[in-house]
Each structure stands twice: as C-alpha cells, then as structure tokens.
Structure 1
Amino acid sequence: MFTTQQQPGQAVVEDPAERREAPVAEPPVERPRRPYGPRRILRDLGPQYAVNGLLGVVFSVSGPAAVTLAVGAAGGLSQAHTASWVFGMLLSAGLATLVMSVLYRQPLGFAWSIPGTVLVGPSLQHLSFAEVVGAFFGCGVLVLALGLTGVMRRVTAALPMPIVMAMVAAVFLRFGTDIVHSARTDLPVAGPMIAVFLLLTAVPALGRRMPPVLGAMLVGIAAVALSGRFALADGPTLAAPVFTAPEFTWAAQLELVVPLAITVLFVQNGQGQAVLTAAGHRPPINAYTVASGAFSLVNAAVGAVSACVTGPTNALLTASGERHRQYTAALVYAVLFLACALVAPAIVRAMLATPEAFILTLGGLAMLRSLLQAFLTAFSGPHALGALTAFIVTVSGLDLLNLHAAFWGIVIGWAVARLTTPRGATP
C-alpha cells in the first residue's frame, strides 16, 4: 500500500480501500435490534412457544421458590420479608426478560441466583438481614460496573465452550436423576407422565399435535387431582413488598459481595450463555450483565437476592420450535411472571401444595433435550479431558472459599484443558 504526501493547499484524498479496512471499535454493550411490532410478535407466537414459556414459569416458581422459603425460614426472616423477597424476584425476572427479549429479539430468560440464595443462608445466622441486603446492593453495583466496562464478553470468549457445557451438564444432571427418583418414590404420579412423554416422543404424528412435555404436564395434573393430594393452605393472596433499609458493613460486604457476583456472572449467566449459544443464538453477554446488575438493585430494594440469566430457564424456553421465533416463549414467560408477582404469596402456596414428584418429573422431562445437547457439546473434540474434569468437579459439590462448585468446575476444567489440549486446537 502506498502513501502520498500532502502538498500545501491540496485536499487530502482518502483511499477507499483504507476506509473499508479500518477497524470499527466494538461498543462495550451490544447494541439492541429494532423491536418487532405487536403484529409480528403475534404471528411468531405459537402453541409450543406458549407451552415452553409456561413450563419455564412452572419450574421457576416451584423448586427455586421453595429454596428461597427454606433459606428464609432457616434465617429467621418474617413471613412478610420472605413474601417480599419472592415478589421482588418474580417482578424483576419478568421485567428483565420482557425488556431484553424485545430489544434483542431472542429468548433471554431472567430469574434469580439459586446458588446465591443458598450462599446467603449461613450468613443469615450471624449477619442481620439489613447487612445482607447491603451486600445485595453491593453485588448489584459490582455486576453493573463489570457489564458497563465490556469485560465479560472478553472473559467468556476465552473459555472453551466444551468446558462451560460440561459444567452445565453437571448442573443439569440432577434434573435427569430426579425423574428416576420420582418414579421410585411416587409412581402413580410420575409413571403416567413418563409414559405419555415417551409415547408422544416415539410417535412423531402424535407429538406434532401434542408436544410431549405438555402431554406429560396434563396427565400429571390429572394424576394429582385423582390422588386427592392437592391441599392449598390459607394465607394472603396479593403481594405486599417490604423495603428493608440496607446496612453497609465491611463484614457483610467482604463475605458476600464477591461470591454473590461470581454466582451471577459465571455460575448462572455462564449457564445461560452456554445454553443459548448451543441453541444457535448469540446472546448479548455484556448487555445482559448490565441488566443483571440493574435488576439486582431492584431486587435488593425489596430484600431479594441477585437477578441473573439462568441455564434451566433458557433451556426450557429454547426446548423446541424455530430459533427465530423462540423469543416469543420468553415473552410469554415474562408476562406470566409479572402476573405471578402480583399474587406471589398465593402462587408459592399453590406450588408447595403440589406433590414434589409432579414438579421434579415435569422439570426433568422438559430438560432432557438440553441435558443431551450439553453432553454432546462437552465431550467431543480436543477439550474432552478438561470438560470431564469440569463435570467431575461440579458434580462433587466442591465449595472452596464459599464459592459454588460450578465456578471451580470451570476454573479447574479450564486449567486442565490448557495443560492437555494440543496446541492450535479450537474451542
């Protein structure tokens, strides 16, 4: 390439080739796309996407909500504070999912950090709830700042996908074993659900008319009704959020902020990113990191744990259908979550009144395809040993330094992959 020297009074002539080749700086936060209008959204919406969105809600407000209630009870929280916690999680998850899925035209299902909820449990034994809420605010600010800097996209790009998917496979494994456990302990409920799911899967003509997971859910509801085991307890119906003034202490900030942020950024968002990528989407990593931080601050205002993009939720939202229409499943999920937030106490009571086998079997059947995809991605290619290491460490439950095993699975699996993968191998 040649250059010309500018003469006095002569205009500078720019080489078109140089203009084309000039690198364009990538913005720290991914730019949203032009949102679809109502007509396009209604045209893209179909029964299977509505079912996937409904299943995401059923899953999220059952087991995860039960974990929250258990942690709140063990930590001595009042019923009002616990109900406010659940309200905040449902509200922020619905709003974040609605906004992000519309702006980026892909399923971006938000929920709340279950590992973060479990992490808070022991802290409530020696910290006041106000101190824990202060840590929730600190975590939200940290996650928001990391998202705005654009660093998370570079970090995740450095992680080989098989390592992350091995961690996802380890986390999702329990959903598969839950099916076996439910069939062993409650066959009258789990058995018909499994049988109908296999029938609709094995006979494609039937499966096209009735999605297998929907068929399993309907049969499960009938089995529960016939068993007479659905007993709804009395209690309030409408949500009544409670504001807890945060107390910022060094003890709480040092103990909780970084571990909570790691569960959001790597354990939960890492799962979500891996699941969405495996489904053929290009998730805006920095954008949903910013959203996680911002809505974590919303959660903290009502005493709730951090918001995040989760693997199981997005696995359900992308379980079937055409990729470019799967965002509608997220919109259904978001609208239903917002409705659930208004009646959070009643929703939680209803789900807790349902036999455990129904929830576990339904969630396990819905997750089977995603579990299979995680195994196929993790254990093929040159990173197989590192992926196996990540899987084993995550399954082991290792919790060094009060950090979740999924984080250590990624770290140790990545280190093994670096040592053992042939030079020049691609992720």
Structure 2
Amino acid sequence: MPGPSNHLPTRESDPAAAATGRDPLLERPAQRPAGIRDVIRDLGAPFASNGVIGLIFSASGPIAVTLAVGAAGGLSQAQMASWVCGIFLSAGLATIVMSLIYRQPLGFAWSIPGTVLLGPSLQHLSFAEVVGAFFTTGVLVLALAATGVVRRIMAGIPMPIVMAMVAAVFLRFGTDIVSSTQANPVVAGPMVLVFILLAAIPALGRWIPPVLGTLIAGIIAVAASGQFALDPAGGPIVATPVFTAPEFTWAAQLELVVPLAITVLIVQNGQGVAVLRSASHRPPVNAFAMASGGFSILNACFGAVSACVTGPTNALLTSSGHKHRQYTAALVYGFLSLVFALFAPMLTRFMLATPEAFVLALGGIAMLRALQQAFVTAFATKFTMGALVTFVVTISGLDLFNIHAAFWGIVIGYGVSRLLERKDHAPEESTGSSC
C-alpha cells in the first residue's frame, strides 16, 4: 500500500495561496506533523541504521576537517569543543523540528566548504572578527529567505544541472571505496564483501539491510585488527559552550559574509534539495533557508560556522526504505546529534580513534545509490551539455572570490545550457517545470 503523500500544496490546491495569488513564505506541510505514535509505528531497522550512519558520517570526516581548521587557526581546545557542540546542537534541533513538521527526512548539518574557506581567514583575522561574520551571515540568509528569492532561484535551475553538481561533489565518496580498500584491506575489504553479499541475495538483505551489515562488518574488522586507537591522554567528557563576543569589522564582513551565504543557500542547501527531490520528496526550500539562517545565528553564539541542509547527510537518510517512513531516519540522526552535542569532546575523540578506511568505506558504500541517481538524473534526458559543464567545473575545484566550485559549476553550466540548449529550456519555460 502506498504511503501518505509528501507533496506540498501548489497554489491551485492551497486556498490561502490562491486567494492572494502568491505562494506562502513558508511552505505548508501536506499533512499534520508526526506524533509519537506515528514515529513508533514508522520507525524500523533500515531507518534507524540510516540515521546512525548519517551521524557516523557527520561525526568523522567533517569533524576532522573542523578540528583541523580550528587548530590551524589557533583556536583553543575549549573554543573547538564549543564549535562542535554548537553545530551538533543546531543540527539535531533543526532536523527533529523540520522532519516532524513536514514528515520528510530533512537533515541539517553545517557547511564544510564554509569551514574550509575559514582556514585562510583565521590566519589574518581574529576569531572574534570571524564570529562577527557568522552572525551577519545568519541574518543575511534569514533576510534573503524572507524575500522568497531563494525559492525563485532554485525553481529556475533545471534539475539535471543541479544533479550534475551533486554528482561531482559525491564522486569522491565512490572513489573513497577504492582508495580505502587499497590502503587498508583488512578493514575495508570485509565491508565491501558483506555489502555485495547482502545486496546480491535479497533474502539476506531483508533480514539485515546491506548498509547496516556493512557497518557491523566494519566494527568487527576494526576491533579484530586492533586498529581502534583511542588517545590515552583523555580530556573533558561533557561540552562546555564558550561565547566569543563578536567584532564587526569591514575586513571580515567583506571577506566572509557573501561567500558563506552563497555556500549555505546555493551550494549546500541546493545539494540537499536536489537529493531529496531525486528521492521523490518535496522539500520546503524557503523553510530550509529560514531555518538555516536562524540556526546559523544560534551556531554563532557557540563560535560555530553556519548551519545548512547538506546533500551527503540527506542521501544517507534516504538511502533505503519506504519514502513515507524515511523521516524516522532523520529523527534518529537528530536525536544522536543532540547526544553528540552534549558529549562532544568525548565522542569526538572516540570517532577520531577509528581508522580512516572504516569511515571512508562506510560513507562511500552508503552513498552509492545516491551517486548513481545523481548521474542518471543529470545525463539521462535533457540539459546534458549544461550538466556536463557543471560537472567538469565543479570537480575541477575552481575557486573564485572564496566561493566554492559547486556554485561556479551551476553558474557556468546554466549559462552554457542557456546558450547551447535553447530547445531544452523552451518546454521548461512554457510548462513551468524545473528543479
């Protein structure tokens, strides 16, 4: 039996929108928010495992990037712990609230490209100046969401072009499977074999989801090989938030605010929206932007980078199971994020003690279906030249004005498509269908 519809009301089906002739600022959910009974009924092993893997993914590689940038920028241990606490607190709260309201797997995290671009800035700006830019970015994202411009921009970009950007960003997860297996076959090899076995034999796959089996195989391999290297020095267990008083200087504002805002709204949220749409969900684009702005301000209070919706996290949350039950995977991810926020110092040390091959292989295997869907959507029908240019520019790592290559991939790919694929755009303009 098909699950409940996740389609958001259109102007024609929404009386309030039809009466005003305008779309509502915040998209209305198609059904009532999920209650406790709904969650208990819809939660199952595949969704719980997807949520756990989403948390493992966020708490490993992205945390390593965050800690590396913070250490290089001269941040204290207390400041970095506060940063980690803030990003997981906002991710958990935003994910749980939005997923319950819309009954969709709406996973929030933080901007990794935004974190990376902070590296050079922390070499010549004080951390207080960077925090000032965090606050301004949150206000700017909130203001742009209030105008509705974000939704109009996302509606005007054809899905194949956006998915080509997603394919380029996700490609490294696929290649990570190969590199991790070659670098550490003792850990990654059994994970790949178990995944293939469970995926190839449906009877086994119904008993234990392939990705969950991969996770279990990886844990056993890490333990059996003695590669779990926990730092004996120890440290604090519970996070203690640190408030850094912001300084609003023109140098920091001009250098960081616009790149951070573009990264949140177009690069990161754009990936999340595209992934969710390819999984047959109808994500609330403007509500995403509003939540990203509000929770970015919360993050700034912890001295943390902007909040956003991310492609990889949502790809993991939607990797298996019935569509109408996938929101429970996001709830598991959100709850675990709150736990991680509370015990950020201890859990960060724990996650970083696992071998890199375990994280790379698990993330890559879990992302395979999303990567496949991204390529199919990008190159199967129309806008293929624009999609190809988007893919090439994004994967090239082009970096102009401190703005991530994914943004330039969409801009250049869309421009080439408008110039060379005019016939493909004509039906889009006449029917109003787009990304």
Q: Where on the TM-score scale, by shorter chain, does this alignment land: which range? A: over 0.9
Q: Secondary structure at the match of 2:410?
A: helix
Aligned mates of 1:225, 1:312 — CA distance in 2: 27
RMSD (Å) for aligned C-alpha atoms: 1.3
| From 227, 242, 247, the counterpart of 1:229 | 227
| Matched residue, 2:123 | 125
Q: Secondary structure at the match of 2:401?
A: helix
| Matched residue, 1:218 | 216
* CA positional deviation for 1:369: 0.1
C-alpha deviations, 1:175-230, integer Å up to 9, x for none?
00000000111001000000000010111111111111111111111110011121
- Name the TM-score, length of structure 1 as normaliser: 0.94
* CA positional deviation for 1:25: 2.5
Q: Is the contact made by 2:134 and 2:296 (CA closer than 8 Å) also made in structure 1?
A: yes
| Matched residue, 1:30 | 27
Report matched runs for 1:400-415 at 5 Å. 400-415=400-415
* CA positional deviation for 1:37: 1.7
Aligned mates of 2:427, 2:123 — CA distance in 1: 48
21 and 175 in structure 1: CA distance in 2 versus 1, 3 angstrom threshold: closer
C-alpha deviations, 1:352-399, integer Å up to 9, x for none?
110000000000000000000000000022200100000000000000
Amino acid at match of 1:150: G
- Name the TM-score, length of structure 2 as normaliser: 0.92
* CA positional deviation for 1:24: 3.8
Q: Secondary structure at the match of 1:400?
A: coil
Report matched runs for 1:67-86 at 5 Å. 67-86=65-84
C-alpha deviations, 1:235-284, integer Å up to 9, x for none?
11100110000000000000000000011001100000000000001100
| Matched residue, 2:10 | none
Q: Is the contact made by 1:340 and 1:347 (CA closer than 8 Å) also made in structure 2?
A: yes
Q: Is the contact made by 1:88 and 1:299 (CA closer than 8 Å) also made in structure 2?
A: yes
Q: Is the contact made by 1:143 and 1:265 (CA closer than 8 Å) also made in structure 2?
A: yes
Aligned mates of 1:194, 1:123 — CA distance in 2: 40
| Matched residue, 1:282 | 282
| Matched residue, 2:134 | 136
Q: Is the contact made by 1:29 and 1:147 (CA closer than 8 Å) also made in structure 2?
A: no
The structure that has the greater radius of gyration is: 1
Amino acid at match of 1:236: P
Aligned mates of 1:300, 1:52 — CA distance in 2: 29
Amino acid at match of 1:118: V
Amino acid at match of 1:295: F
Report matched runs for 1:43-192 at 5 Å. 43-192=41-190
* CA positional deviation for 1:22: 6.1
C-alpha deviations, 1:391-422, integer Å up to 9, x for none?
00000000011110000000001001101114
375 and 223 in structure 1: CA distance in 2 versus 1, 3 angstrom threshold: same
| Matched residue, 2:8 | none
Aligned mates of 2:374, 2:225 — CA distance in 1: 36
Gaps of 5+ in 1: 1-18
Q: Secondary structure at the match of 2:109?
A: strand
Q: Is the contact made by 2:17 and 2:24 (CA closer than 8 Å) also made in structure 1?
A: no
Gaps of 5+ in 2: 1-15, 429-433
Q: Secondary structure at the match of 1:225?
A: helix
The count of residues paired between Structure 1 and Structure 2 equals 409
**Percent identical across equivalent pairs?**
69
Aligned mates of 1:39, 1:260 — CA distance in 2: 39
Aligned mates of 1:260, 1:412 — CA distance in 2: 19
C-alpha deviations, 1:23-76, integer Å up to 9, x for none?
643212212452122111110111100011111000001000000000001001
Aligned mates of 2:151, 2:274 — CA distance in 1: 13
